[in-house]
């Protein structure tokens, strides 16, 4: 049996024009990297060339992944591209966690003998149509989970409140008169027709903390399901090139699918980027390494920032952010509310990629790539803070801290 992985192509399925084939996927890469005409295996930090193989094994794999609900919109084209990579990793992670079969090993996107063993078991044991499709594939915005409906209602509650009552921070956004990916309150989208990511900022007002930690909560609402991740919404002074470090303004922003470290041959990987014009930030005007009243009085930076991405933060020991929103790889909470540990195979930093992966962050990126509605290439990111989060009596500062602490292993 041939081992299948990113870049492999069934016999006769090699694209006639490699640059044209890759162009839609490599939009935000530097021109130098685009010309390499290879796939970026960002999960483990490698580049893979197109490699034609005998037979139609990739097509058969894709047919299974589509039927089982792990590859709903990517083409069955015989090319092991980014969509197939995400689907294989999702299958492996699903078997490991939802099915509880640790023998599948690490979700590494390589379909070898062991992965095919579990595929054949799936085919043999899940014989009726409804049972054959995984829970992630059966989920939908038409039949959402209770948690999804709850979070979506909180988003709308917050939008209506701030539209009626206003807010000191949002007034800065309303007054901004240049194009930006930070949305005015009338342009907030709280519908189920888009992917939502919610960031809940904690401890942003603490002064002089030095290296800010990964202590914030991220909530992903996708395909009628909710997944929880953790990381940081604040800049780490040690990572920034300027003293007046940038804090992304609280509110709603539009982000597109793209890449982080777009010019680095060895470090580039999938991430979310401001959709077009850049997002609005406050800067630490008094150098106390916090977002405080003085910074709010000074106002937002007059130039929208195109480099505040949403990306990986290693295993979570260090905040990799120079102003970006960063997500740890150590653990997450899945659609059923179960804590999932990724520490055994999550890389601390770039140096461990290859022998380890980005862990929970890979799931985050793969869910977005796989279950985004057809044709949708952006999501809405709503950033709030713990003491005003959604004006909910149940969603307290203590509860948010408990959820983050649970994922941190505290």
Query: What would the DSSP string read from start to end of 239-308?
Result: T-SSSS-EEEPSEEEEEEEEEESTT-TTT-EEEEEESSS-B-EEE-TTSSSS--HHHHHH-B-SS-BS--
CA dist 325 and 312 (Å) reads: 9
Whether 36 maps to a domain, the answer reads yes
Whether 204 maps to a domain, the answer reads yes
- pLDDT value, residue 209: 57
Mark whether 81 and 214 lie in a shared domain. no
Whether 1 maps to a domain, the answer reads no
Cα R_g (the chain), whole angstroms:
21
Is residue 116 within 8 Å of residue 205, measured between CB atoms? Answer: no
216 CB-contact burial (10 Å; exposed 0-12 / middle 13-18 / buried 19+): buried
- pLDDT value, residue 2: 84
Candidates 323, 326, 318; CA nearest to 281 is 323
Mark whether 221 and 251 lie in a shared domain. yes
**Quick one: DSSP state of residue 357?**
B
CA dist 152 and 102 (Å) reads: 33
Mark whether 198 and 268 lie in a shared domain. yes
Mark whether 99 and 195 lie in a shared domain. no
Please count the structural domains in the chain: 2
CA dist 303 and 165 (Å) reads: 27
**Quick one: DSSP state of residue 57?**
H
Range of the domain at 14: 8-138
Candidates 386, 379, 382, 323; CA nearest to 185 is 382
CA dist 109 and 127 (Å) reads: 25
- pLDDT value, residue 286: 85
Q: For residue 270, which phi and psi values (nearest 5 degrees)?
A: -65, 140
Q: Which residue among 73, 106, 138 closes a domain?
A: 138
Whether 177 maps to a domain, the answer reads yes
Mark whether 117 and 251 lie in a shared domain. no
Q: Which residues contact 35 (CB under 8 A, 6 or more apart)?
A: 19
Whether 402 maps to a domain, the answer reads yes
376 CB-contact burial (10 Å; exposed 0-12 / middle 13-18 / buried 19+): middle
pTM: 0.96
Is residue 229 within 8 Å of residue 332, measured between CB atoms? Answer: yes
Calculate helix-pair angle for 57-67, 113-125, nearest 10 degrees: 50
Helices (H) and strands (E) in the chain, counts: 12, 17
- pLDDT value, residue 291: 86
Mark whether 225 and 112 lie in a shared domain. no
Whether 2 maps to a domain, the answer reads no
Q: What is the largest CA-CA distance in the chain?
A: 65
- pLDDT value, residue 394: 64
Whether 53 maps to a domain, the answer reads yes
Mark whether 91 and 63 lie in a shared domain. yes
Whether 88 maps to a domain, the answer reads yes
Q: Which two tokens stand for residue 172?
A: 């800065």
Q: Which residue among 107, 138, 169 closes a domain?
A: 138
Which residue shows structure tokens 């992630």?
Answer: 136
Is residue 242 within 8 Å of residue 269, measured between CB atoms? Answer: no
- pLDDT value, residue 363: 98
Q: Which residue among 138, 171, 193 closes a domain?
A: 138
Mark whether 289 and 313 lie in a shared domain. yes
- pLDDT value, residue 207: 60
Q: Which stretches of 166-208 are DSSP H helices?
A: 168-175
- pLDDT value, residue 238: 73
- pLDDT value, residue 9: 98
Q: How many CB atoms lie within 10 A of CB 238?
A: 13
Q: Which residues contact 283 (CB under 8 A, 6 or more apart)?
A: 242, 244, 245, 246, 247, 295, 298, 301
pLDDT in tens, 261-312: 999 999 999 999 999 999 999 998 888 888 888 888 899 999 999 999 999 9
Mark whether 235 and 365 lie in a shared domain. yes
- pLDDT value, residue 387: 62
**Per-position pLDDT tens, the chain of length 410:** 789 999 999 999 999 999 999 999 998 999 999 999 999 998 778 899 999 999 999 999 999 999 999 999 989 999 999 999 999 999 999 999 999 999 999 999 999 999 999 999 999 999 888 899 999 999 999 999 999 999 999 899 889 988 888 888 889 999 999 999 999 999 999 999 999 999 999 877 666 556 778 999 999 999 999 999 999 999 988 777 788 899 999 999 999 999 999 999 999 999 999 999 999 999 988 888 888 888 888 999 999 999 999 999 999 998 898 899 999 999 999 999 999 999 999 999 999 998 999 999 999 999 999 999 888 899 999 999 766 655 566 666 677 788 888 898 87
């Amino acid at each position: 049996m041939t081992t299948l992985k990113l870049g492999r192509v069934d016999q006769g399925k090699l694209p006639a024009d490699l640059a044209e084939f890759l162009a839609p996927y490599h939009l935000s890469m530097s021109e130098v990297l685009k010309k390499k005409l290879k796939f970026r295996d960002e999960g483990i930090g490698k580049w893979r060339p197109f490699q034609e193989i005998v037979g139609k094994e990739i097509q058969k794999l894709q047919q299974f992944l589509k039927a089982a609900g792990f590859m709903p919109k990517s083409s069955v084209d015989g090319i092991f591209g980014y969509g197939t990579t995400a689907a294989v990793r999702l299958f492996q992670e699903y078997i490991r966690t939802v099915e509880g079969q640790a023998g599948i090993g690490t979700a590494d996107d390589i379909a070898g003998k062991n992965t095919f063993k579990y595929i054949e078991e799936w085919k043999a044991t899940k014989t009726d149509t409804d049972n054959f499709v995984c829970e992630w594939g059966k989920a939908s915005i038409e039949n959402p989970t209770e948690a999804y409906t709850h979070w979506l209602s909180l988003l709308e509650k917050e939008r209506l409140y701030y539209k009626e009552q206003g807010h000191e921070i949002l007034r800065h956004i309303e007054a901004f008169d240049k194009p930006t990916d930070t949305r005015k309150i009338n342009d907030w989208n709280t519908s189920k027709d888009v992917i939502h990511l919610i960031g809940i900022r904690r401890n942003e007002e603490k002064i002089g903390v030095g290296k800010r930690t990964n202590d914030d909560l991220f909530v992903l609402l996708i395909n009628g399901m909710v997944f929880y991740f953790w990381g940081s919404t604040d800049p780490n002074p040690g990572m920034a090139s300027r003293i007046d470090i940038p804090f992304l303004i609280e509110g709603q922003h539009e982000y597109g699918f793209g890449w982080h470290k777009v010019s680095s041959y060895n470090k580039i990987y999938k991430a979310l980027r401001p959709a077009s014009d850049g997002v609005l930030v406050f800067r630490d005007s008094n150098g106390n390494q916090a977002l405080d009243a003085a910074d709010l009085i000074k106002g937002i930076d007059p130039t929208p920032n195109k480099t505040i991405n949403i990306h990986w933060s290693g295993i979570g020991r260090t905040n990799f952010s120079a102003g970006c929103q960063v997500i740890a790889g150590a653990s997450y909470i899945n659609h059923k509310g179960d804590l999932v540990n990724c520490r055994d195979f999550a890389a601390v930093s770039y140096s461990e990629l290859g022998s380890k992966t980005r862990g929970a962050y890979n799931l985050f990126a793969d869910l977005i790539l796989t279950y985004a509605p057809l044709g949708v290439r952006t999501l809405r990111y709503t950033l709030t803070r713990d003491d005003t989060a959604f004006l909910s009596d149940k969603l307290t500062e203590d509860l948010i801290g408990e959820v983050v602490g649970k994922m941190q292993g505290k």
